């Protein structure tokens, strides 16, 4: 199905199943421990051997020698795979560094070997016997030091143009009566998902099957085949349940490749779960940023000039953290300049983490907007609304399909009690707590990606949906079942959904908050094709009605079971509809914090998110996504930071003891409101993504609330108490 014109009335608009609050149909499996994650496909193969990955102990240099003699003689050892005996390996299109290093070392904890043994304990003990001698080389580990050497990167298709100019920013900023020129930093952050990167691999002749934790099945198949020099048709990837991804499982990682290599060498199935420290230094992370924002405005508060420059780093051949991209679209100003610059660093690979670009970018932009509002003597919401726009600020001829940012702010202000807020900082007390309220816009683009599915009618009249779409905890099983049930006129429990297998039609996959809308649109296309086949077989025309498990028309009703065996496969493909108008999602975040007047300890007291993201397919799942994202936003604001050893080039706090994330005690009750809207330009579903919108702007709302509580402005995240103490108001 080709989608290149806005959707008109269609079966999804019935709202019988789609849009209703629906508990997750996979919930019972997960709460009873019967949903098989990557490491738990116990019946899939004969008793597998266990692999233990050895990561490089240096950040840059080469392996001078690797002594495997003692390890090979250790009890239970079946094979040891290194770059020397792995055979010729390629590199996946989505990988920046080689997944198996040696003799050259590209980054700390780059995989150099996998030891395969009968048990985990035997593999781990043997790995400790491997003696590696290194020749180290000088590395680049400090973004601030390398800032001067940063360059404008190439557009890789996802990051957008590295630089944009409209009008004459320099001249306009120079003559603006009110100016802001401020710098902000965000640190390296780790995904730290609950489920480690894990894989079970088995060979059957030339055919390879991997059960793994991956968000993008088709990407994984392609890159694994490319790395191993195989034909894609001989590679099967299975990932029905993923225990958290956040972008860290978008791409093929070392566990998959080494499990496949280990299984080939040991001539039996092998499974690997990356050790937690390797998840931080071996897999991807969110890169640190250095950001400079300049705003110029007239005395009435209208922005005349906006500049946002960002510097981030990655390994050679990597890409930038696109922290300026939302600034190109969020606020109006006639004179504009933005740039994403990339420095070469020898730290572990930087790549996508939940809302890449917007999440760290808005941590700076939305603080700058508050600072500028204060300079102008304007309320922070009023200042934002004054500079709202209904068209792309860089391309005014291009409108937004929907843009209800103002509605989000107005409704949020009413529900949060914003009008009761004292505009002057450090004025509100609750015992020993300084209390403050902060606000920030939420923004994330809506991406359209092709997606396919297959639908079949069973003998009992049930519909079976198959697509390689993944569920990373987002509720894919449920919204896909809702879509099929709506279109085919079935009860929800009459739909069976099978996901995460590359033998199924290729979907859009899970990531970038594009999954729900696009995957369901692909299922919609397949179901509409099946409807046409059923109507034809039933001797009915286009007016056939599907309801109650039947197809109706011409005064008769025929059960769908009568058409058992009918199969339809189709997908959604988009024309240039996304180019004709800008598709984005919007919201407003409100946060109240308390700061201990004596210690600087910060406590989040209440949170509210108001979101405009097209049709909400399942309000329960959508709320879960938003409150999870809000929680991650609090973590980014207050505690998450990978500490870089700038001498040796690695993340020191590479475990869950040293890398702090929010826990239940850190998060109060969270309120989420979804505006009632549909966007016909997004897909036949008229939906858009919402999972990442919930994190965009939260960090800034927390920072703005802290400033309002204390009068202390911190521009270096995370905002920890030692950054506040010196500036706190005197305590009598």
CB-count burial class (<10 Å; 0-12, 13-18, 19+) for 175:
exposed
Q: What residues contact residue 726 under an 8 Å CB cut-off, 6+ apart? A: none
**Cα distance between residue 33 and residue 5, in whole Å:** 44
Order of strands across the sheet that contains 550-553: 545-547, 550-553, 556-559
Q: Which spans in 237-379 are helix H?
A: 254-266, 276-281, 358-376
Question: Do the Cβ atoms of 441 and 588 come closer than 8 Å?
Answer: yes
**Cα distance between residue 38 and residue 259, in whole Å:** 12
- Reference 385, options 403, 364, 367; nearest CA is 403
CB-count burial class (<10 Å; 0-12, 13-18, 19+) for 697:
buried
User: End-to-end distance of the chain based on CA atoms, in angstroms?
Assistant: 70
Q: Is 458 a catalytic residue?
A: no
Taking the CA atoms of the chain, what radius of gyration do you get in angstroms? 27
- As a residue count, the chain comes to 732
Question: Do the Cβ atoms of 676 and 610 come closer than 8 Å?
Answer: no
Question: Do the Cβ atoms of 305 and 422 come closer than 8 Å?
Answer: no
CB-count burial class (<10 Å; 0-12, 13-18, 19+) for 304:
buried
Question: Do the Cβ atoms of 428 and 595 come closer than 8 Å?
Answer: no
Question: Do the Cβ atoms of 380 and 386 come closer than 8 Å?
Answer: no
Catalytic residue, candidates 321, 358, 374, 692: 692
Rounded to 5 degrees, φ, ψ at 457 are -95, 125
**Cα distance between residue 643 and residue 657, in whole Å:** 13
Q: Which helix (H) or strand (E) holds 608?
A: strand 602-612
DSSP state letter for 615? B
| Largest pairwise CA distance in the chain | 86
**Cα distance between residue 170 and residue 588, in whole Å:** 30
**Cα distance between residue 697 and residue 719, in whole Å:** 15
- Reference 588, options 414, 370, 389, 441; nearest CA is 441
Segment 425-431 long-range contacts (CB within 8 Å, at least 24 positions apart): 425/707, 425/708, 425/709, 425/710, 425/711, 426/708, 426/709, 426/710, 426/711, 426/729, 428/709, 429/597, 430/594
Order of strands across the sheet that contains 178-186: 163-166, 335-344, 303-314, 289-297, 178-186
Residues serving a catalytic function are: 692
């Amino acid at each position: 199905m080709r989608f290149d014109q806005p959707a008109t009335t269609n079966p999804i608009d019935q709202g019988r199943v789609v849009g209703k609050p629906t508990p997750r149909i996979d919930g019972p499996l997960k709460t009873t421990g019967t949903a098989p994650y990557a490491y738990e496909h116990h019946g899939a193969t004969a008793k597998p051997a266990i692999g233990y990955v050895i990561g490089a102990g240096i950040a840059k240099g080469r392996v001078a020698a690797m002594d495997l003699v003692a390890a090979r003689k250790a009890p239970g050892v079946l094979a040891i795979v290194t770059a020397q005996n792995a055979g010729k390996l390629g590199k996946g299109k989505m990988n920046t560094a080689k997944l198996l290093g040696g003799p050259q070392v590209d980054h700390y904890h780059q995989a150099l070997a996998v030891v395969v043994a009968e048990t985990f304990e035997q593999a781990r003990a043997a790995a400790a016997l491997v003696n590696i001698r290194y020749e180290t080389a000088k590395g680049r580990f400090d973004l601030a030091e390398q800032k001067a050497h940063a360059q404008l990167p190439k557009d890789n298709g996802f990051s957008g143009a590295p630089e944009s100019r409209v009008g004459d920013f320099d001249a306009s900023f120079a003559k603006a009566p009110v100016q802001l020129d401020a710098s902000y930093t965000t640190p390296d952050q780790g995904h730290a998902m609950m489920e480690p990167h894990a894989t079970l691999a088995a060979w059957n002749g030339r055919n390879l099957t991997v059960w793994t934790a991956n968000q993008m099945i088709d990407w994984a198949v392609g890159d694994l085949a490319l790395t191993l020099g195989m034909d894609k048709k001989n590679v099967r990837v299975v990932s029905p349940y993923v225990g958290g991804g956040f972008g860290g499982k978008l791409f093929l990682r070392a566990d998959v490749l080494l499990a496949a290599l280990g299984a080939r060498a040991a001539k039996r199935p092998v499974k690997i779960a990356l050790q937690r420290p390797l998840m931080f230094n071996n897999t991807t992370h969110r890169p640190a940023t250095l950001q400079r924002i300049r705003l110029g405005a007239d005395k009435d508060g209208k922005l005349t000039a906006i500049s946002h420059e960002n510097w981030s780093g990655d390994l050679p051949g990597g890409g930038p953290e696109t922290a300026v991209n939302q600034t190109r679209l969020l606020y109006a100003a006639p004179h504009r300049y933005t740039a994403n610059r990339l420095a070469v660093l020898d730290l572990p690979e930087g790549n996508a983490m939940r809302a890449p670009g917007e999440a760290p970018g808005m941590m700076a932009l939305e603080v700058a907007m508050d600072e500028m509002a204060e300079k102008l003597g304007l309320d922070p919401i009023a200042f934002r609304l004054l500079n709202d726009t209904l068209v792309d600020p860089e391309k005014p001829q291009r409108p937004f399909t929907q843009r209800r940012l103002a509605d989000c702010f107005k409704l949020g202000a009413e529900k949060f009690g914003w009008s009761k807020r004292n505009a002057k900082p450090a004025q509100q007390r609750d015992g020993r707590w300084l209390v403050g309220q902060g606000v920030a816009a939420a923004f994330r683009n809506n991406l359209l990606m092709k997606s396919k599915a297959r639908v079949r009618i069973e003998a009992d009249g049930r519909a079976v949906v198959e697509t390689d779409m993944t569920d990373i905890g987002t509720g894919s099983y449920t919204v896909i079942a809702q879509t099929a049930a709506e279109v085919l006129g079935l009860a929800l429990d009459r739909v069976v959904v099978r996901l995460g297998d590359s033998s199924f039609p290729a979907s859009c996959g899970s990531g970038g908050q594009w999954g729900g809308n696009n995957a369901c649109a692909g299922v919609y296309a397949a179901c509409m094709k099946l409807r046409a086949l059923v109507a034809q077989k039933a001797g009915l025309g286009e007016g056939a009605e599907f309801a109650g498990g039947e197809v109706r028309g011409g005064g008769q009703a025929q059960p769908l079971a009568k058409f058992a065996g009918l199969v339809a496969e189709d997908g959604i493909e988009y024309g240039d509809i996304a180019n004709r108008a800008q598709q984005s999602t919007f919201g407003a975040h409100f946060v109240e914090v308390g700061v201990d007047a004596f210690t600087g300890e910060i406590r989040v007291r209440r949170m509210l998110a108001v979101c405009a993201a097209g049709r909400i397919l399942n309000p329960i799942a959508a709320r879960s996504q938003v409150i999870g994202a809000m929680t991650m936003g609090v973590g980014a604001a207050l505690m998450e930071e990978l500490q870089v050893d700038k001498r040796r080039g690695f993340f020191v706090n590479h475990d869950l003891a040293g890398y702090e994330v929010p826990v239940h005690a850190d998060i109060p009750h969270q309120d989420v409101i979804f505006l009632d809207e549909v966007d016909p330009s997004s897909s036949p579903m008229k939906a858009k993504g919402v999972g990442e919108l919930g994190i965009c702007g939260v960090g800034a709302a927390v920072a703005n609330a802290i400033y309002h509580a204390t009068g202390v402005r911190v521009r270096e995240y995370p905002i920890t108490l030692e950054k506040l103490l010196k500036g706190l108001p005197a305590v009598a």
